[in-house]
């Protein structure tokens, strides 16, 4: 599987990593515990089985629209098959438009059965994961938000990349010139 993700500017990246550290120091699930060199704070836009040539061409066009301003709106929790603690990202018109272009690029050359419906426009909840675990309710305690630094008031989404889960490699998706 391949992800399509947005990376954060350096200051926002450092803020997320500080939140990761604080969660880990408190003994809570944290992305800091993932020691892979490919582990970076990011915003996942979509996933697909492979990045075909038509998808790559479209994603190169999307990458040309970066950087994009973003605003964190606070802590959010998801209980799916995993418990996730994250900083929500405001879904303004620019981010919604960029996300829609990524979704359309991936959907145009992928089987619909392989697409994650949670990434579909209208259902997608933009967020940057701080911690995740298979333990239900792991972040339900009231003290969790108090452990975290305040999210940055503003950030920039700077880079489009893809993570390949089979090879554990990252590929930057750059604009065509």
Q: What does the pLDDT read at residue 122?
A: 96
User: In the chain, which ranges are E strands?
Assistant: 2-8, 42-48, 68-70, 72-79, 83-89, 127-133, 155-164, 169-172
Q: What does the pLDDT read at residue 4?
A: 98
The hierarchical CATH code for the domain 2-170 is: 3.90.1140.10
Assign 118 to helix, strand or coil.
Answer: helix
pTM over 0.75: yes
Q: What does the pLDDT read at residue 177?
A: 62
Q: What does the pLDDT read at residue 37?
A: 81
Q: List the domain boundaries for the chain.
A: 2-170
Q: What does the pLDDT read at residue 171?
A: 94
User: Along the chain (177 residues), what's the average pLDDT of each consecutive run of 10 residues?
Assistant: 97 97 94 90 96 95 96 91 93 98 96 93 97 88 82 94 94 86
């Amino acid at each position: 599987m391949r992800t399509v993700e947005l990376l954060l500017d350096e200051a926002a990246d450092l803020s997320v990593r500080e939140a990761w550290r604080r969660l880990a120091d408190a003994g809570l699930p944290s992305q800091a515990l993932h020691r892979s060199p490919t582990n970076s704070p990011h915003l996942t836009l979509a996933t697909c089985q492979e990045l075909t040539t038509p998808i790559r061409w479209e994603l190169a066009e999307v990458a040309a629209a970066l950087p994009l301003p973003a605003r964190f709106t606070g802590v959010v929790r998801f209980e799916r098959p995993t418990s996730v603690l994250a900083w929500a990202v405001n879904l303004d018109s620019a981010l919604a438009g960029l996300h829609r272009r990524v979704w359309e690029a991936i959907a145009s050359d992928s089987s619909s059965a392989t697409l994650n419906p949670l990434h579909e426009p209208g259902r997608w909840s933009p967020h940057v994961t701080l911690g995740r675990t298979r333990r239900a309710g792991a972040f339900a305690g009231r003290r969790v938000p108090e452990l975290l630094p305040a999210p940055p008031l503003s950030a920039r989404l700077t880079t489009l990349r893809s993570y390949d889960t089979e090879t554990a490699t990252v590929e930057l998706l750059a604009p065509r010139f």
